[in-house]
Amino acid sequence: MPMWVHPQFDPVALQLGPLSIHWYGLMYLLAFGMFFFLMRRRMALPFAPLPAWTAKDLDDLLFFGVLGVVLGGRLGQVLFYEPLRYLANPLEIFMVWKGGMSFHGGLLGVIVALALWARSRGRRFFDVMDMVAPCVPTGLMVGRIGNFINGELWGRVAPSDLPWAMVFPQVGDGLPRHPSQIYQSLTEGLLLFVLLWWFASKSRARGQVSGMFLIGYGGFRFCTEFFREPDHFDIGLHSLPLSQGQVLCLLMVAAGLAIVAWSRRQGKPE
């Protein structure tokens, strides 16, 4: 059976003189644009938290969120995944154009950034997080598409008779592999968005939407990690065996369950 071969896209989508626009950068722009559009829809809901959200609130929130994603994602990569490498070469921490962004670090960065924004606006933390959470998965979806275009974060070796198995020439072994970037785009991105958007379309107790996001993402990511080739710097629980990403996802699910349990005790806000 013939196998698919990754087409090895040019990572540069557009060249404007000395300026190179990369596909992954375009995916980030698309992610933030989709977030902005979806947040406008969320702000119009009749049960949106008071005081009412304004266009300036959304602009400022997006600015804080971008900083949280970039700074948190980079620091997460440094601290969670490759501390020894960056300890030996500290200047590489600032070389973001060489790649290296951690989702879990980005998530923590966004939480800190939005907590600061909520405090500065006199809003409740979970009111802000519940508004934001359903608008995040579409960004994760296009981010994984960017990974696929770059031919990075490929999957584990797959059976040769798997109809969608794909050879990634970047690996150099010629073996068929799972296109795990697509799995993650469809589950942690599209499917999570559909479920969370439906769940958040009705008034929920404060914190429930945030908790469900952590449970949903953590659960989907835990499953797709079985099909993704572990990074060379992965220090997960190999004796179980679990990848480092799966360990962090279990912590996410536990945190989500705790938030949902706390939320149910609080009841719906007035």
Does 144 show up as a binding residue in the annotation? yes
Handedness of CA 89, 244, 71, 187 (dihedral sign): positive
- 8 A C-beta contact, residue 220 and residue 191: yes
C-alpha span between 199 and 204 (Å, rounded):
8
C-alpha span between 186 and 195 (Å, rounded):
12
- Residue in the block written with tokens 């119009």: 44
Instruction: List, for the chain, all residue ranges whose pLDDT scores fall below the cut of 70.
Output: 1-2, 94-100, 232-239, 267-270
Find the helix packing angle between 125-132 and 103-121, rounded to 10°.
130
Helix/strand/coil for 270: coil
Pairing of strands 166-167, 176-177: antiparallel
C-alpha span between 196 and 133 (Å, rounded):
8
C-alpha span between 114 and 61 (Å, rounded):
7
Residues in the chain, total? 270
| Residue type, position 187, single letter | T
User: What is this structure's pTM?
Assistant: 0.87
C-alpha span between 62 and 68 (Å, rounded):
10
| Residue type, position 229, single letter | E
C-alpha span between 267 and 154 (Å, rounded):
43
Q: Counting beta carbons within 10 angstroms of the beta carbon of residue 171, is it exposed (0 to 12), middle (13 to 18) or buried (19 or more)? A: middle
Peptide bond between residue 51 and the one before it cis (omega within 30 degrees of 0) = yes
Quick one: pLDDT at residue 87?
79
Six token digits for residue 200: 């958040």
C-alpha span between 43 and 37 (Å, rounded):
10
C-alpha span between 35 and 91 (Å, rounded):
32
